[in-house]
Amino acid sequence: MGRTGDRPFALEDEVPLSGKDDKAGICFLTHPSEDEWEEYAFGRLPQSRVERLEEHLFACRACQFTLDRLDKFISAMRTTAAEPAPGTHFIWDRIRFKTRPLIAAALVAGLLVIGVVAMRSRRPFLDTTPVAVALASFRGETMAVAPVRQPLSLEISKLEIPSRQETRAPSAYTLEVVTATGGPAWKGKLERAGDKLIAEVPGGLDRGTYWVRLYGSHADLLREFGLRVGEN
Binding residues (CB under 8 A) for other proteins: these are 2-9, 11-12, 21, 23-31, 34-35, 42, 44, 46-48, 51-52, 54-61, 64, 66-69, 71-74, 76-81, 83-86, 88, 90, 93, 97-98
Say how many CA atoms lie within 13 Å of 38 toward its Cβ: 5
Name, in order, each residue with C-beta under 8 angstroms of 210's C-beta and a sequence gap of 6 or more: 177, 178, 179, 180, 185, 226, 227, 228, 229
Q: Toward other proteins, which CB reaches closer, 47 or 129?
A: 47
The sign of the CA dihedral 135, 137, 141, 142 is negative
Classify residue 225 as exposed, middle or buried by CB count within 10 Å of its CB (0-12, 13-18, 19+).
buried
Q: Residue 115 Cβ, how far from other proteins at the closest point, in Å? A: 24
How many angstroms separate the CA atoms of 212 and 218, rounded? 17
Q: Toward other proteins, which CB reaches closer, 65 or 211?
A: 65
Q: Residue 110 Cβ, how far from other proteins at the closest point, in Å? A: 21
Q: Residue 64 Cβ, how far from other proteins at the closest point, in Å? A: 5
* Beta strands at 191-193 and 196-201: parallel, antiparallel or unpaired: antiparallel
* Beta strands at 144-146 and 221-229: parallel, antiparallel or unpaired: parallel
Angle (nearest 5°) at CA 190 between 189 and 194: 165
Q: Residue 103 Cβ, how far from other proteins at the closest point, in Å? A: 15
Q: Residue 55 Cβ, how far from other proteins at the closest point, in Å? A: 4
Q: Residue 47 Cβ, how far from other proteins at the closest point, in Å? A: 4
Q: Toward other proteins, which CB reaches closer, 54 or 220?
A: 54
